[in-house]
Amino acid sequence: MWDIDSYTLASSIRTTDRETIFFLLGWNRLTPDQTQNIAPISQLHLPLQKDEFRKELYRALSHLGLGHRYLSFAVQEEKGRILYRDIKYIRKSGSSVVIDTMKKSYRIPVTMTDMEQELTGIQERFIRVHRDYLVNSRYLSWFWNQEAGLMDGTRIPVSRIYKERVERVVGEKRKKIMR
């Protein structure tokens, strides 16, 4: 059997999988940077109470949502689809967009405006942060000055006109985590 502590295991999983839900026990032994790195859905206290765990489990499940919606696309003769929840951000690149996921990037010949309209009304919350960027709020981790950070360390520029919106979304995410 491997000799690995739970933090090392969780942080190694988190580098490639942003969907896994971690419930953090013994969180007071970790530094704030370590806690932020693994992005737990909840921090539970020991001894673990059944009602507390049940409440946090239901909250985690509601956080996941349905998540079965896809963005379908066709590039030349090739068709594809991407789960909306897997899209980290979308950036404008000339007359097309580049969709960045945890695993791969896709170049699709569509305008940013058309892409934004496609994403309107879906369960995932994509927000415009810059004229060239749409970000999936699921991956939004922090905001400072005119830059937003995603959970994987990616930094995205934020225009002044979108600053308040990004601050509000990051604040809402923090409130959800603290509940």
Q: What is the CATH number of the domain that holds 129?
A: 2.40.50.1020
Q: Do both 53 and 109 map to the same domain? A: no
- In terms of phi and psi (left: phi > 0; alpha: psi -120 to 50; beta: otherwise), the region of 93 is beta
Question: Which pLDDT tens digit goes with each residue over 102-125?
Answer: 889 999 999 999 898 888 877 568
Chosen domain end from 34, 64, 94: 64
User: Is 101 domain-assigned?
Assistant: yes
pTM: 0.60
* In a shared domain, residues 40 and 90: no
What HEC string does 74-96 produce?
A: EECCEEEEEEHHHEEEEEEECCE
Instruction: Determine the Cα–Cα distance for residues 134 and 156; give it in Å rounded to an integer.
Output: 10
Domain assignment of residue 110, yes or no: yes
Angle at 10 between CA 28 and CA 59, to 5 degrees: 75
Considering its fold, how many domains does the chain have in total?
2
Q: Which domain holds residue 51?
A: 6-64
Rounded distance between C-alpha atoms, residue 161 and residue 147, angstroms: 13
pLDDT for 93: 94
**CA pair distance 164, 39, nearest whole angstrom:** 24
Q: Are residues 100 and 134 in the same domain?
A: yes
| 38 and 118 fall within a common domain | no
Distances from the Cα of 124 to the Cα of 3, 18, 75, 159, angstroms:
38, 14, 23, 22
Enumerate residue ranges in the chain where pLDDT < 50.
67-68
Q: Is residue 166, in this structure, part of any structural domain at all?
A: yes
Report how far residue 94's alpha carbon sits from residue 91's, in angstroms, rounded to the nearest whole number: 10
Is 94 inside a domain boundary?
A: yes
User: How far, in Å, CA of 3 to CA of 128, rounded?
Assistant: 44
The reply to whether 52 and 108 lie within a common domain is no
Same domain, residue pair 159 and 91: yes
Q: Is the peptide bond before 47 cis (omega within 30 degrees of 0)?
A: yes
Q: Are 169 and 132 in the same domain?
A: yes
